[in-house]
Chains A and B, each alone.
Chain A
Amino acid sequence: MRGGHQQFEFRASFSDLAEGLDILHQSIDRLRQATGRPADDRPLMLFETALGEIGSNVLTHGRPRGTAEPIDYALWFDEGTVVASLTDSGSPVQDHLAREMPAHDREAGRGLAMARSLLDELGYERDGGMNRWRLVKRL
């Protein structure tokens, strides 16, 4: 945070599932505190929900089998917009933008569809053997 113009930046690397999820949620708590938003701020809650979906996908699938390559995470807020990036070295993700919400009795497969509908922008690119996710929401 600097002066009257609200800015926030957070960076971390992690490889463990539980640790990574804790860090993602802690980063949102810090953003909430830094920007003076209430605990029930709905736009930030929707962003956190999307971040949890992409974060858990990356932590679960985002590393080559048998390796513990760290995942790089950055969160920043500027001019009323929050952006998160997650970078992993797992296999390419196919057709992620086309995935629809599954039937009610399906136990899995909702994460990407949820994230897409909760964000203003969900970006994915494959770059140099890395998956780069970008989550954007105007708060």
Chain B
Amino acid sequence: MALEVETHTADNGITVVAATGRLDVAGAPMLKEAISEVVKNGPPRIVIDMEGVSFVDSTGLGSVISALKQIRGSQGELRLAAPNQQARVVLELTTLDRVFPYYATVEEALTGF
């Protein structure tokens, strides 16, 4: 399934970017585009909601690294929420779990952000 991305603002002003489908070489540009739109509007605090992401490949992971660079370049912060087992394996295998704090749920990611 191709990636679909929806963006909304939570009660505490955090932007939640919710992705659904495969975050792979075909889907990565959609996530990059969505993050770029958020960053245009000022210092961003973003949670990427991965609950609907069924599969992540290295290019998809690259789009998250790109997002992190854009967000930090704008004095913002990024958290990942609800990666599935496959996504967690990819994060751990690449040791990027040391770079991206990830949370079990969106609610946890929003708490204290």
Contact = CB atoms under 8 A, between A and B. Distances in A.
B96 A104 contact: yes
A25 interface: yes
Contact of A49 (B59, B90, B95, B98): B90
B88 to A, nearest CB: 11
Contacts of B22: 21, 25
A108 B26 contact: no
A53 B94 CA distance: 13
B33 to A, nearest CB: 15
Given A49-B86, A114-B94, A107 B24 contact: no
Contacts of A49: 55, 57, 86, 89-90
Contacts, number: 65
Contact of B58 (A42, A46, A104, A108): A108
Interface residues of A, number: 27
Nearest to B99: A104
B16 interface: no
A118 B99 CA distance: 21
B10 interface: no
A105 B65 contact: yes
B85 interface: yes
Interface residues of B, number: 25
Contact of B55 (A25, A104, A105): A25
Interface string A18-39: 1001000100000000000000
Interface string A96-115: 00000100111111110010
A108 B59 CA distance: 6
25 contacts: A17-B26, A21-B25, A40-B85, A45-B89, A48-B55, A49-B55, A49-B86, A49-B89, A52-B24, A56-B25, A56-B57, A59-B25, A60-B25, A101-B95, A104-B98, A104-B99, A106-B65, A107-B62, A107-B66, A108-B58, A108-B62, A110-B62, A111-B59, A114-B94, A117-B93
Interface of B: 2, 22, 24-26, 55, 57-59, 61-63, 65-66, 69, 85-86, 89-90, 93-96, 98-99
